[in-house]
Amino acid sequence: MTPDSLYVFALIGVAGVLMASNRVRYDLVALLVVVALVLGNILTVGEALSGFGSSVVILVACLLVVGEMLERTGVARFVGDLILKKGGSNETRLLVLLMVSSGILGSVMSSTAVVAIFIPIVLKIAADTGLNKSRLLLPMSYAALISGMLTLIATTPNLVVSDELVAQGYQALGFFSFFPIGLLILAVTTVYMLFWGQSLLGSRAPQAPTKKRRPARTAADMWQAFQLQGEVNDFWIGGPVSLEEIRDLKARGVKFVARRRRDRNRQRETVLFKDGMELQRDDLILVNGPLEILDEMASRSDFTRRSATGVRAEDWRDALGLADVMVHPEASVIGNAGSDALGPDYQELQTLAILRSGAPLEDLADVRLQASDRLLVLGPWDELDDLISQQDDFVLLSYPKEREDTVPMLSKFSVAIAILVGMVVLSAFNIVPVTIAVLLAALAAVLFRTMPTETAYRSISLSTLVLIAGMLPLANALEQTGGSALIVEQLLHLVGEANPRVMMGALFLLTAALGLVLSNTASAVLVAPIAITAAEALGVSPYPLAITVLIAASAAFSTPVSTPVVTLVVTPGNYVFSDFLKLGVPLTLLVGLTTVLVTPLLFPF
């Protein structure tokens, strides 16, 4: 072992300790590695920073944009709602649906985002059905981890391994190259959780909160806080309603708030109800008024009340929102009439009520705005966001709790599906390189207005990119100093001329062990070149060994801190460290055995 290789091994050890301690951010550790490689005269400045020019970094950035598109357009929530509908209260069926859905969805978007989306869904299922949430959350997070074994773009280590194959002169992995292996592992894990995992996950008493938190206000709470009179209902329109009938209902105290109508594409468009608007068959309207008048409307053949109590909020929450705002002391709108409180630039917003010194004001047309008046504003979420951005005029006091469940671009649902399918087709059939396919998908997400350009940039996690770019040169350093050759030599010494499957098993254990202290990306960066060199030394194809590394990098089942995908469920599921050891260690070995047995059948030696 040369002094340089000893220096690199020591650097890997220090990086592992820092990452495992959770006291230093992973991206900062990666930057420290870059600096240490240069100061130790292991790599030149250009070589140490070469990771920032890697195609993997661009690919990951674009995938984060695509994942944001799937969230903003409701694709991810659609899957969750489907689980609620199909799963019912049957725990076995729910477990299978959760694991399959999180696995498949995670294959085309961030698995961390998938878990974050599914946690409230699982908690709601548990609350509605009385099922034990701890028996659902951990299996769901494990399936999200396994999603990294399904497609090339599912997780960064896959891209690292494929890139290393290309760098060594081999053909890149295809989009679905290892999908059958990952699908089998997902099925095996599902069976494992049904027959073994569930017996180990008993009841968990909920943790006592460390401090009391004020619950978020719902839209109904805000409505009451502004002391608005009457009830709120929504109605289907069964036939044409004349303007005269609408005026008559208004005169009796009914306020028509909003209307939903299908457009040419059969998508429902929501608009605030304005004077002169008509109603026709199949419209959906939101109204406020005295209960007796609303009951009278419900008795008519042309009005069908959709809910016996209140409103079907899920039909309105994505298009319409509420905001409790305060007039800034130096606002330009001071002195405006209450009925025109927001000015001419916000015609899509409506002021429902005004509080002054805690008391509601009557007849907004006769009111003149004053500093510190509170307004309850109704309108599209993007218009509300734009209003709040005018900080010289209005100060946001609160949004309703329902804002957390909104999908801001639900109207682009079909566009997002088309973009996703296009990306998969371009990649799967090698029409263009994977990097270009994903880059085109990210561009299309912006060009087809599923999100503003600024949102696309915000969705890109710089810390993730820095971690990848900073760790990539470490593999080069290991190669240049002879460290990789030394590891391969020791592995060959241990396994000798045995069946290459023994080498696969050794590489799986090495990658999985490194993944406990390093990030899965860092472990793939280090072990991928070792696997290829070992394959060449054995005179076999590098693909079975490379696939083994790829799968092992996503097998972080044994601790709650090795990846955010499982860390996220610790608190809501009330898990303890031993839960991960009892379930994760046997599962890791089972996945390793499955990988070693099956991979050579698809990728012969």
Cα separation, 216 vs 180, whole angstroms: 45
Q: Where in the chain is the domain with CATH 3.30.70.1450?
A: 323-399
Cα separation, 585 vs 580, whole angstroms: 8
Higher pLDDT, 224 or 116: 224
Say yes or no to pLDDT of 551 above 90: yes
Q: Which residue has the tokens 């046997």?
A: 586
The pLDDT, as a whole number, for residue 496 is 63
Which of 11-20, 175-184, 220-229 has the highest mean predicted lDDT (pLDDT)?
175-184
Chain-centroid distance of CA 543 in Å reads 31
The pLDDT, as a whole number, for residue 446 is 93
Say yes or no to pLDDT of 506 above 80: yes
The pLDDT, as a whole number, for residue 207 is 42
For residue 305, which phi and psi values (nearest 5 degrees)?
A: -70, 135
The pLDDT, as a whole number, for residue 192 is 92
Q: What is the pLDDT of residues 568-597, one digit of tens each?
A: 677 777 777 778 788 888 999 999 999 999
Q: How confident is the model over 128-141, as a mean pLDDT?
A: 83
Say yes or no to pLDDT of 240 above 50: yes
The pLDDT, as a whole number, for residue 39 is 93
Q: What is the pLDDT of residues 1-59, one digit of tens each?
A: 788 889 988 887 888 788 767 678 778 888 998 999 999 998 899 988 988 887 778 87
The pLDDT, as a whole number, for residue 568 is 67
Task: For domain 323-399, say whether CATH 3.40.630.30 is its number.
Answer: no
Q: What is the pLDDT of residues 476-504, one digit of tens each?
A: 787 788 876 777 677 777 776 667 888 89
Say yes or no to pLDDT of 210 above 60: no
**What is the dotted CATH code of the domain comprising 219-315?**
3.30.70
Nearest CA-CA partner of 582 in 96, 204, 143, 202: 202
Say yes or no to pLDDT of 567 above 70: no
> DSSP code of 52?
G
The pLDDT, as a whole number, for residue 605 is 86
Say yes or no to pLDDT of 352 above 70: yes
Query: pLDDT-based confidence at 519, cuts 50/70/90?
Result: low
Contact 94, 83 (CB under 8 A): yes
Q: Which long-range contacts (CB under 8 A, 24 or more apart) does 189-193 make?
A: 189/99, 189/139, 189/142, 189/143, 189/146, 189/587, 189/590, 189/591, 190/95, 190/96, 190/99, 190/100, 190/139, 190/143, 192/586, 192/587, 192/590, 193/95, 193/99, 193/139, 193/142
The pLDDT, as a whole number, for residue 498 is 64
Query: Average pLDDT of the chain?
Result: 82
List all residues 6 or more positions away from 400 whose beta carbon is below 8 Å from its beta carbon.
216, 217, 218, 219, 221, 222, 321, 322
The pLDDT, as a whole number, for residue 209 is 40
Nearest CA-CA partner of 4 in 480, 533, 473, 472: 480
Contact 554, 152 (CB under 8 A): no
Say yes or no to pLDDT of 227 above 70: yes
Higher pLDDT, 311 or 437: 437
Instruction: Copy the structure tokens of residue 269.
Output: 């468009």
Say yes or no to pLDDT of 206 above 50: no
